[in-house]
Structure formats: structure tokens, C-alpha cells
């Protein structure tokens, strides 16, 4: 870090205006965060593309050679030559465009992007096993819409679930619609109205997230009065035929409800109190695609909810997000959540209960909030 700062100070003698030290520290940190997300091959290409960037003063081949393969030194070199955030942004954008890293471009696009604090910075986890070296992400720049249904009556801890979900959705920049303690018809009408608003929206919709928290059994959620609503019927409302606004957009469903009556007591290991709960020319899509569905437990099993702290899955989601933020692709995020759930100690009537989340996906790209 010090190397980059000293270089920036030396640049004053070359008529470059150096920013304050704190700004330089932040700029170098942001540049290095971006470089850290490049594979070794991408980093090598980055150095090649940097030589041809039409931004003065140009980075010389000698300076690049002196920087070696160190990402820290390369970040320092960029700060030395492009102390102004706007200049650094232009350079990073030009190089990332040639690398085809659209996921990282968003962090630098727009004048003064380095000083934008409205949207939290993301550190995207990516796989280096992609054949073409490119990570294809959904474009979530449109409106993010969410629907929360929760049965609070006779479900102690449910109110905390609502609070945690609202907090999580706010951090992920979702606008949400609430539906609390509905009967069967009220739920169907409200969720259909929510779907219709998506279809009629004049603004582009980037993503839809539906959270259903209630009692349940396999394939159904239950209302407070015992009436059942088919999950398949709800999923179908948002498919590519019934919700064209969400074609090729991620549709995420978080289901917090039992899926049956079975209880898994777990298996004791050496490692050593709660409650349950033109036709020929048209491109075609499957009727169901771009779905991501999370269940809090295996098929036919109970879900877990604490009367004070709320549902185990919802609480784990909140805790993992506080620790890692939005750095993970959604499947990786819920894998982290599942790890926490699996290792949660849970008892029902003094008997141990263990659960594992279940993820079902027809996503075609990666989802980063």
C-alpha cells in the first residue's frame, strides 16, 4: 500500500495532481479489489491491454515489467499514473471491456464512480474454470421487486422473521409488498396482483423475489385457518408464459414452511430449545426457466422456528449477510447459509432435530445482489 502512495506523491513533479492521501488509499484499495478478481490469465491480458490504453500518461512497458506479477504493485502503478478517480475509472473501464468482464465494469462505469457510496461495493466470487474466461451475470439494473407473505398467528417468532427479511431485502435494494395473515383467496389475489403489476410496469424489472413464511406440507403452504395453497400454482404465476416481464430474469422463491411431518434426529459425531415449523423467427424459451427456489428442509420433513429468535433459515440468512454482504452468487450465499443451518443445535421436546436446506435452480446466469 505504501508503494502506491509514494508513487502518487512523486507524480506531482510530473505535473500530475495528486489526491489527498486518504483518497489515494481508497483508490488503490478499489483497484486492487478489482485485480484480485482476475484469473492469472486475465491479469496477464490486463497488463497487455494496459499498454495500449489511450489515456495520458501511458504506462510504459518498463514500469509494467518492474511491477512484475504482483497485484499490489500493479495497483500502485495505476494509482501513480492515474491519481484522479475519474482517470482511473476510464482506464479500468477500457481494459475491463477488452477483458469482457461486464460484472466488474459496473464498479467503474460513470464519472466519479470511485466516489460513489450509494451502492455498496461488491467483491464478486467467480469461478476460474469458465471455458471462455467470462462470467455471465443477470443484469439487475432494473427494479428489484419482492413479495413477502407471512402467517404470524400461532407462529411465535414469525414477526422477527418479517423484520429480518425486510432488513435483508432493503440491503439488497428490493422494493417489497407485504401480505400478513391472509386467507387462501386473499393470498392468491394479492400475489396475482403483484404479478400483474410486474407485467404492467413501465420500468424495466430486473429481478423478482417471493418469500412465503407459514405452516406447510409437501407441495403446499397453509394459511392460519388450515386452508392450503399449492406452491406449484404460485410458481406457475411467474413462468415465462404468465409473466413475460420476467422472461430471462431471475425469479427467486424463499419458502419457510414445513414440507411434511418427518423429523431427522441427525447422526452423532465425535465433534460433539426450539419449535418446528412470427413463430418461425421467434426465439423460444422453456415455460419454466430462471427460477431459484429455496426450501428450509428436505421433502417430507419439518422446518424449524424458534419462538423468540424466529426461523433458523431466516436468522442464518441475516447472519451470513452481515458477515459477507453481497459478495456471493446467490447459490454460494445459500450454501453458506446451509452450512450454518446444518451446524445449528436444535431440539424439539428434548429430542435433537437436524435439517438441511434444499436448493432448486433453473438459473441460466449468475445472480449477484
Residues 328-338 pLDDT 10s:
889 999 999 99
Asked whether residue 276 carries a pLDDT value surpassing 70, the answer given is: no
- Does residue 218 register a pLDDT over 50? yes
The reported pLDDT for the residue numbered 294 is 95
pLDDT the model gives residue 64: 67
C-alpha cell at 11: 507524480
Name the burial class of residue 34, with classes exposed (0-12), middle (13-18) and buried (19+) by CB atoms within 10 angstroms of its CB. buried
The string of pLDDT tens digits covering residues 239-254 is: 999 999 999 999 999 9
Mind giving me the DSSP string for 190-207?
HHHHHHHHHHH-SSPEEE
Q: 268 or 354: which carries more pLDDT confidence?
A: 354
Of residues 82 and 29, which shows the higher confidence score? 29
Q: Which CATH number fits domain 143-361: 3.40.50.1460, 3.40.50.1820, 1.20.1740.10, 3.90.10.10?
A: 3.40.50.1460
From the candidates 179, 207, 258, 329, give the one annotated as an active-site residue.
258
What is the average pLDDT across 262-287?
Answer: 58
Task: Flag whether the pTM goes above 0.75.
Answer: no
**What is the predicted pLDDT for the residue at 29?**
81
Q: Which are the contacts of 229, defined by CB distance < 8 A and separation ≥ 6?
A: 184, 187, 188, 220, 221, 222, 223
Alpha helices in the chain (DSSP H): 2-10, 21-36, 40-51, 61-67, 71-81, 85-99, 102-105, 158-171, 184-200, 231-237, 312-324, 330-342
What pLDDT is stored for residue 20 in this prediction? 53
pLDDT at 2 over 50: no
Q: What is the pLDDT of residue 306?
A: 85
| 196 vs 328: which has the higher pLDDT | 196
Q: Which of 348, 246, 248, 244 is nearest to 303 (CA)?
A: 348
Is 329 an annotated catalytic residue?
Answer: no
Which residue from 276, 248, 249 is spatially nearest to 264, judged by alpha carbons?
A: 276
Show me where the domains of the chain are located.
2-114, 143-361
Catalytic residue, from 8, 179, 207, 215: name it.
215
- The band of 95, judged by pLDDT with boundaries at 50, 70 and 90, is confident
Q: Which tens digits make up the pLDDT trace of 132-176?
A: 444 488 988 899 999 999 999 989 999 999 999 999 999 999 999
Residue with cell 423478482: 208
Q: Percentage of the chain surpassing pLDDT 70? A: 76
Q: What is the pLDDT of residue 71?
A: 78
Q: Using pLDDT thresholds of 50, 70 and 90, give the confidence band for residue 18.
A: very low
Q: How far apart are CA 47 and CA 240, in angstroms?
A: 43
Lowest pLDDT segment from 134-138, 182-186, 189-193, 362-366 = 134-138
The CATH code of domain 2-114 reads 1.10.533
Chain-centroid distance of CA 321 in Å reads 10
Same topology between domain 2-114 and domain 143-361: no
pLDDT at 111 over 70: no
Residue 60 CA: distances (Å) to CA of 42, 51, 55, 128, 217: 19, 7, 12, 29, 66
Relative orientation angle of helices 21-36 and 2-10, to the nearest 10 degrees: 120
Amino acid at each position: 500500500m505504501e508503494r502506491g502512495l509514494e508513487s502518487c506523491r512523486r507524480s506531482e513533479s510530473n505535473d500530475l495532481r495528486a489526491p489527498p492521501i486518504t483518497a489515494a488509499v481508497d483508490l488503490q484499495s478499489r483497484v486492487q479489489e478489482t485485480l484480485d478478481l482476475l484469473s492469472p490469465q486475465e491479469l496477464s491480458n490486463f497488463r497487455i491491454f494496459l499498454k495500449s490504453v489511450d489515456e495520458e500518461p501511458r504506462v510504459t512497458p518498463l514500469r509494467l515489467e518492474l511491477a512484475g506479477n504482483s497485484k499490489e504493485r500493479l495497483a500502485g502503478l495505476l494509482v501513480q499514473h492515474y491519481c484522479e478517480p475519474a482517470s482511473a475509472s476510464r482506464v479500468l473501464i477500457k481494459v475491463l471491456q477488452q477483458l469482457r468482464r461486464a460484472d466488474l465494469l459496473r464498479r467503474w462505469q460513470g464519472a466519479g464512480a470511485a466516489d460513489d457510496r450509494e451502492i455498496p461495493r461488491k467483491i464478486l466470487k467467480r469461478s476460474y474454470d469458465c471455458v471462455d474466461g467470462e462470467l455471465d451475470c443477470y443484469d439487475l439494473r432494473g427494479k428489484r421487486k419482492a413479495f413477502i407473505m407471512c402467517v404470524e398467528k400461532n407462529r411465535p417468532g414469525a414477526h422477527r422473521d418479517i423484520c429480518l427479511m425486510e432488513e435483508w431485502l432493503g440491503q439488497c435494494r428490493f422494493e417489497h409488498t407485504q401480505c400478513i395473515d391472509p386467507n387462501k383467496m386473499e393470498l392468491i389475489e394479492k400475489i396475482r396482483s403483484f404479478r400483474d403489476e410486474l407485467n404492467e410496469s413501465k420500468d424495466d424489472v430486473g429481478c423478482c423475489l417471493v418469500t412465503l413464511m407459514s405452516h406447510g406440507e409437501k407441495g403446499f403452504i397453509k394459511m392460519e385457518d388450515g386452508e392450503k395453497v399449492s406452491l406449484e400454482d404460485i410458481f406457475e404465476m411467474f413462468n415465462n408464459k404468465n409473466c413475460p416481464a420476467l422472461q430471462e430474469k431471475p425469479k427467486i422463491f424463499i419458502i419457510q414452511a414445513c414440507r411434511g411431518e418427518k423429523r431427522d434426529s441427525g447422526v452423532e459425531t465425535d465433534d460433539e430449545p426450539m419449535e418446528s415449523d412470427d413463430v418461425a423467427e421467434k426465439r423460444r424459451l422453456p415455460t419454466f426457466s430462471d427460477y431459484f427456489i429455496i426450501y428450509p428442509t428436505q421433502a417430507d420433513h419439518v422446518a424449524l422456528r424458534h419462538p423468540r429468535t424466529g426461523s433458523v433459515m431466516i436468522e442464518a440468512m441475516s447472519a451470513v449477510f452481515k458477515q459477507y454482504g453481497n459478495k456471493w452468487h446467490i447459490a454460494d450465499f445459500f450454501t453458506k447459509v446451509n452450512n450454518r443451518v446444518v451446524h445449528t443445535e436444535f431440539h424439539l421436546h428434548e429430542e435433537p432435530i437436524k435439517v438441511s436446506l434444499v436448493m432448486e435452480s433453473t438459473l441460466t446466469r449468475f445472480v449477484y445482489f
